[in-house]
Amino acid sequence: MEDQSESHGKYLVTGATGKVGGSAVRQLLDAGHSNVRALVRDPARARLPAGVEVVRGDLSDPASLDAALDGVTRVLLVWPTLQADDAAPEAVARITRDARRVVYLSAMGAEASSDANPVAASHGRLEQLIRGSGAEWTFVRGGGFAGNDLGWADEIRAEGVVREAFPGWKRSLVHEADLAAVALRALTTDDHVGAAYEVTGPENLDQADRVRIISEVTGLPLRFEPLSVEEAREGYREWLPPEVVEDTLRYMAEATREPEPVTTAVAEVTGRPALTYRRWVADHVADFLPDPRATGSTARG
């Protein structure tokens, strides 16, 4: 049943300046909740809507969380995966010391806790900590996040091309607004305690499909160019630890052979269909278009 009162204390959203956390904050405010607090590392740089209380804190530093957690009983936990995992036991213990409910933005595959997918393994460890905390919990296990395709934006603006390995890897990418909507049902109602939802978009699309849709929606003439595995390895080594690079490539090869499933969790929890990838692109057109302030180049300055 929907909780219409404010008597249970404040809602805390972590990762509030990110895609899912930011959408969750906006949806809470749009629903009329006035008791919304956002955890951010740098309040001076945070761009959040009026009506949300912004408090400084860093999940990698559990001692910094006290002010953000004061008076909070329900937390939407968006974790900085792989970046703060050493602090996870202490951070979860601190969060659940007062908060009686944690809705955790997890990932599909987390329950298997396999080291073959380092991101899923990280989420699995967080799930175990939350289960063992004694707090009420709900896990929102996202499939591929559509927002990760914003990583293509620089190439699109500069060259009109997307280069990736494993061109046949089909993903059921989910809009961040859908992840936030499912999470907020679990946060603000009592109907989803103890549930773990696998949340995806409504269709499977490979990388070339997605580039085609971006081209159609933005009107930009784009093309997709497949990379070899070795070329992808060299690119990943620029920003991932070596052991994570190999695990990531192995996972991508396995996922290419077995595409991600398409689930109905969004419809089941929210009562409406999941948003399409085309809708996601339409909501992010400006991120792919050349910056009008740039001169002499299509790349952002």
Which pLDDT tens digit goes with each residue over 8-44? 689 999 999 999 999 999 999 999 999 999 999 999 8
Kindly state whether residue 248 falls inside one of the protein's structural domains: no
Answer whether residue 1 is part of any domain.
Answer: no
Give the separation between CA 31 and CA 180, rounded to whole angstroms.
Answer: 13
- Check the CA dihedral 130-132-137-140 and report its sign: positive
* Residue-range definition of the domain harbouring residue 64: 10-146+173-199
Give Cα 60 distance to the centre of its chain: 18
The number of folded domains in the chain is 1
What is the pLDDT confidence band of residue 197, given thresholds at 50, 70 and 90? Answer: very high
188 in a structural domain = yes
Q: Which residues contact 80 (CB under 8 A, 6 or more apart)?
A: 15, 59, 60
Give the model's confidence band at 114: pLDDT under 50 very low, under 70 low, under 90 confident, else very high: low
At 22, which CATH number?
3.40.50.720
Assigned domain for 242 exists: no
Looking at the domain assignment, is residue 253 inside a domain? no
Nearest-10 crossing angle of helices 242-257, 118-131: 100
**pLDDT tens track for 203-243:** 999 999 999 999 999 999 999 999 999 999 999 999 888 87
Cα separation of 203 and 276, whole Å?
7
Q: Does residue 192 lie in a domain region? A: yes
Does a structural domain hold residue 153? Answer: no
Task: Of 184, 181, 130, 131, give the one whose Cα is nearest residue 3.
Answer: 184
pLDDT of residue 293: 55
Q: Is residue 224 part of a domain?
A: no
Determine the average pLDDT of the residues in 60-76: 96
Report the run of H or E that residue 13 belongs to, with start and end.
Answer: strand 10-13
